[in-house]
Every structure is written in C-alpha cells, then in structure tokens.
C-alpha cells in the first residue's frame, strides 16, 4: 500500500514539473497590440517559438554545410574560393527567409512585424546602403572575373597588386608595401585599369625633349642604346622611338619598351632616365628648358 502511495506521489511531482515546463514554453517574451479599428494586429512571441526557430536554424546550418560540400567537392581551388565567398552572402539571405517562414507557419503575423518596424527598417536600409553596394559589387567581380588575385590594378590614381578579394573589400599592396583596402563599390563608380589582364608583360615609356638643331637620328640611336642595354627591358617586342611633337622649346621623343613586371616599372624608368642623361651629355645633346625673352619698352613723354 505504501509503495502505491509513493508511485502516486511521484506521478504528481512529475506532472507538476511537466506543467512548469509547459508554462515556461508558453511564457510570452513579447506581447503587444497595435492599430485601430479593423486594423488591429497582435504580436506574440513565446519561448517555444524561439526554441523552434533555434532548432530550425541549427538544422538549416547543417543542411547548408552538406550542400556546400556536395557542390564544391570537385571544384578547382580557385573556383571553390569564389563559390565560398558568394555562398557566405547567400547563406544569410537563406537564414532570413527560413526565420520568416517559421514565424508565418506558427501563426505570427510577419506583415505586422514589418509594419511595426517599418521606420527602423528604413533607417537600417539607409545606413547599410553602401554596405549592400559593396557586397553586390563583390559578387559582380567574382562572377565576371574582371579582377583576379595577383592582378595589378589602378583606380583613382593608386596602383597595387591584388592580394585578396573579399565580398565587401579588395585588398591590394602598393609598390611601397602599403596595404590598399578598396571598397568594392568603387569598381562600379570609377574607371578600373587592369594592367595585367592580358598578361604580366606591358609596354612602358619614357619621354624626353632635346634642343632644336639636335641630330634627331643620333637622339634615336642613343635612346635605343639605353633601352637595349638595360637588363629589365625585354628583347621582344624590341624597343622603339617615336618623334612625338615639335614643342615650344624642344623636339619631343618617346622611348617605348617592354617590361616583364609592370608593377616595378618605376625603377627601370628611373634608371633609363639616368642613362639617357649620361649618354646625352657624352654626345653633346642638350635637354632644353623653357626660355622667354622679355622686351621692356620705355615711353618718353615729349615736352
């Protein structure tokens, strides 16, 4: 008899715990009503809804990881990196959609939530406008492959070698080893020069002016000599000299040559200028500077 009483007592205790657990699940975290007349809306958020959303989010996370492994299993490493970048952005969109679907399925008026937070959503949208532009631009860059890691790019007069392309920014290193962080939306708003999209070999040039009366054939010979003797200048295609213009104070020439690494072009260009100056001095070729003759006319008043 005493054993039966104990069993009944344990059942009562278990029932009490279960009721407490049910009450905890039904506890309302958010409960308010807004609107007037026929447009009254109730927004109720209970603990069990939050737990349900958490469970669904965990299951969604594992499902997305499985899909990611399945899709990228046979992808090349370069394509896999691009896919992971785009997938990281799409994942958050999927999370938002899943949460909204779960809320709608358990009876929470999603339209009412949007209506109640309309002002907040507008403010957040305006604040994150540039962020969304960067992300969308990053997706465009990854899809159309206009820029790759290792490319040398010029934007807004700044030149750098691309080290990393992220969804929001692109990181490049300049010739003086400074890190250049470029928001991706700048690619849509500015002209982008990709120096190495057609390969690392580029054509560079050095301009110089000589005095009128100089032997232009000798000038051409000395310019070609300076280029062909420099170790960084490639033999093919060969250097060439262009007689560009008759200037105000000089005859203008351009020495065009080919380099294998355009990122370091400033150094060979500087060395060629030193060599051209030396060769011109040895051969009495003058590099002029602008000169002006000033005539002063004095007016004498006659008595």
Cα–Cα nearest to 103, from 59, 61, 34, 46: 46
| C-alpha separations of 84 from 114, 137, 152, 216 in Å | 31, 16, 24, 59
Q: Which domain holds residue 241?
A: 202-282
Distance CA 291, CA 279 (A): 24
What does pLDDT average to over the chain? Answer: 76
Residue 5: pLDDT over 60: no
Query: Which whole number is the average pLDDT over 123-131?
Result: 64
| 8 belongs to a structural domain | no
Long-range own/partner contacts, residues 57-64 (CB < 8 A, 24 or more apart):
57/95, 57/98, 57/99, 60/94, 60/95, 60/98, 64/91, 64/94
Q: Are residues 109 and 91 part of one domain?
A: yes
Q: Are residues 116 and 33 part of one domain?
A: yes
Q: State the alpha helices, DSSP H only, in the chain.
A: 2-25, 47-72, 77-105, 110-116, 118-127, 129-144, 186-189, 216-228, 266-282
Per DSSP, the three-state class of 12 is helix
Higher pLDDT, 90 or 9: 90
Number of domains in the chain: 3
Query: Which whole number is the average pLDDT over 297-301?
Result: 67
| 132 belongs to a structural domain | no
| 296 belongs to a structural domain | no
pLDDT of residue 303: 47
- Exposure of 7 by Cβ count < 10 A (0-12 exposed, 13-18 middle, 19+ buried)? exposed
Distance CA 52, CA 106 (A): 10
* pLDDT category of residue 116 using cuts at 50, 70 and 90: low
Q: Are residues 29 and 82 part of one domain?
A: yes
Q: What is the pLDDT of residues 190-222, one digit of tens each?
A: 777 887 766 667 788 899 999 998 899 999 999
Distance CA 149, CA 145 (A): 10
Q: What is the CATH number of the domain that holds 157?
A: 2.30.30.60
Q: Are residues 217 and 234 part of one domain?
A: yes
Q: Are residues 225 and 179 part of one domain?
A: no
| 278 belongs to a structural domain | yes
Q: What is the pLDDT of residues 211-253, one digit of tens each?
A: 998 899 999 999 999 999 988 888 888 999 999 989 888 899 9
Higher pLDDT, 5 or 119: 119
Query: Which whole number is the average pLDDT over 148-166?
Result: 82
Distance CA 265, CA 262 (A): 5
């Amino acid at each position: 008899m005493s054993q039966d009483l104990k069993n009944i007592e344990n059942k009562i205790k278990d029932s009490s715990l279960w009721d407490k657990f049910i009450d905890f699940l039904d506890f309302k975290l958010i409960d308010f009503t807004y609107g007037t007349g026929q447009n009254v809306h109730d927004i109720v958020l209970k603990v069990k809804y939050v737990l349900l959303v958490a469970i669904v989010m965990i299951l969604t996370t594992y499902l997305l990881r499985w899909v990611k492994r399945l899709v990228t299993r046979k992808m090349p490493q370069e394509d896999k990196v691009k896919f992971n970048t785009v997938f990281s952005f799409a994942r958050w969109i999927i999370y938002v959609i899943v949460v909204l679907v779960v809320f709608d399925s358990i009876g929470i008026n999603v339209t009412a939530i949007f209506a109640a937070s309309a002002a907040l959503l507008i403010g957040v949208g305006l604040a994150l406008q540039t962020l969304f532009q960067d992300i969308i631009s990053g997706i465009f860059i990854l899809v159309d492959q206009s820029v790759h890691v290792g490319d040398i790019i010029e934007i807004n007069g700044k030149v750098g070698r691309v080290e990393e392309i992220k969804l929001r920014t692109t990181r490049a290193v300049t010739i003086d080893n400074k890190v250049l962080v470029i928001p991706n939306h700048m690619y849509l708003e500015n002209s982008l020069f990709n120096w190495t999209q057609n390969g690392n070999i580029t054509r560079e040039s050095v301009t110089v002016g000589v005095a009128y009366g100089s032997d232009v054939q000798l000038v051409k010979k000395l310019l070609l000599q300076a280029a062909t003797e420099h170790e960084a200048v490639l033999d093919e295609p060969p250097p060439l000299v262009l007689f560009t213009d008759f200037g105000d104070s000089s005859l203008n020439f351009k020495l065009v040559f080919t380099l294998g690494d355009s990122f370091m072009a400033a150094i060979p260009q500087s060395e060629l200028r030193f060599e051209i100056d030396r060769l011109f001095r040895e051969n009495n070729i003058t590099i002029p500077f602008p000169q002006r003759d000033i005539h002063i006319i004095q007016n004498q008043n006659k008595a």
